[in-house]
Amino acid sequence: MRIHMWTADAAGSGWYRGHLVGMSLAWLGHQVTIGVRLPEDWEQLDAVVGCRVAIPGASKAWRQMKTAGVRLVLDLDDDYFHLDPANTQARATWSPGLQAALTKNIQIADVVTCCSEPLAAVLREHHDDVRVIGNGLPAQYLGTPRDYNPEVLRVGWAGSASTLTELPIAARALNRIAEYPRPALVRLVGITPQQAMAAGLRGGRVGALGWVPDQNHYLQAVGDFDVWVAPYRDIPFNRAKFATKALEAGFLGTPLIASDIGPYRHAVDHGVTGFLVRREHEWGRYLKRLADDPNLRQSMGMAARARASGSILQALNQQWEKALRPTLRPPPVSAAQEAAA
């Protein structure tokens, strides 16, 4: 098949739901192009995976491709129908008009794909063929070497300006671990020092790297974490997410401390691959346990890697291929055939 992965951006969403998927489909022998623009000869495409198609120009092209007989797969990895009330920028962008356009484009699609079952439940209100395909990473990251007993412990958080509202949940514990007698540093990837201070992080042993646009460089940056924290509020928008931080931490062999909300409750084996936090004081408690015990960090990191091995791209590309291939239906049975039967 000739397939185009029509990404909405070049950031994490475009990488996981576009570039990596396209690369894995090419391994199966398909001719794949990837980008935020459609090929000029899009009429020759067999299928297009469109990520969050909603703006007017993209919606018009979506309708044109439908008319031309191109198979359309609309993919979402966030719940744009239940936005985070604290994310004023997203709420301003995703106006009722844009949400209505997204709904129409979902209905036009041949298949809808998404990253989680809670998100699928929302999308099934608009389409009767919604398939859940999780995120994955190349198997090579499972082999990244790491030192489980470094001289200086690095405790990390990764996010962006849009997820900055989650960071204060663990800010107190991160400030305390940065002052711990055992040498420890707190490293924040994806936000500026000013944003870190606004979220309640302070001290000379707290550093913010800022936004890392290249995903390979991003994985190198978070690969330095010895312990990873992933705080999230228990709101509908977060419950529909894929547990990407658990996936990344698992591939890199890093124990994860995460909020005990839906996606991470299913992705983290509490006490085995990491810890799940239900009450605020547990952030500090679990951080101290991992800071004090390199053997525990190693056992959890190795268990997390074993679990993550089921999410290599080679385990997911056939699910994408099935979504992209038209379903073969048997020919209608004639009245004569029914009588003969």
The residue ranges of every structural domain in the chain are: 2-136+313-324, 139-311
Query: Residue 214: pLDDT above 70?
Result: yes
CA distance 90 to 81: 11
- Residue-wise pLDDT for 76-98, tens only, equals 999 999 999 999 999 999 999 99
Query: What was the pLDDT predicted at 333?
Result: 47
Work out the angle at residue 215's Cα, subtended by the Cα atoms of residues 213 and 220, and round it to the nearest 5 degrees.
110
- Residue-wise pLDDT for 115-160, tens only, equals 999 999 999 999 999 999 999 999 999 998 999 999 999 999 999 9
The one-letter code for the residue type at 235 is I
Query: Residue 340: pLDDT above 80?
Result: no
pTM for the full model? 0.92
Give yes or no on whether 2-136+313-324 and 139-311 have one common fold.
yes
- Residue-wise pLDDT for 160-211, tens only, equals 999 999 999 999 999 999 998 888 999 999 999 999 999 999 988 999 999 9
Confidence of residue 105 (pLDDT cuts 50, 70, 90): very high
CA distance 82 to 300: 34
Mean of pLDDT values over 280-305 = 97
Confidence of residue 327 (pLDDT cuts 50, 70, 90): low
Superfamily of domain 139-311: Glycogen Phosphorylase B; (3.40.50.2000)
Taking alpha carbons only, the member of 238, 102, 218 closest to residue 169 is 238
2-136+313-324, what's its fold?
Rossmann fold (3.40.50)
Tell me which residue has tokens 């590309």. 317
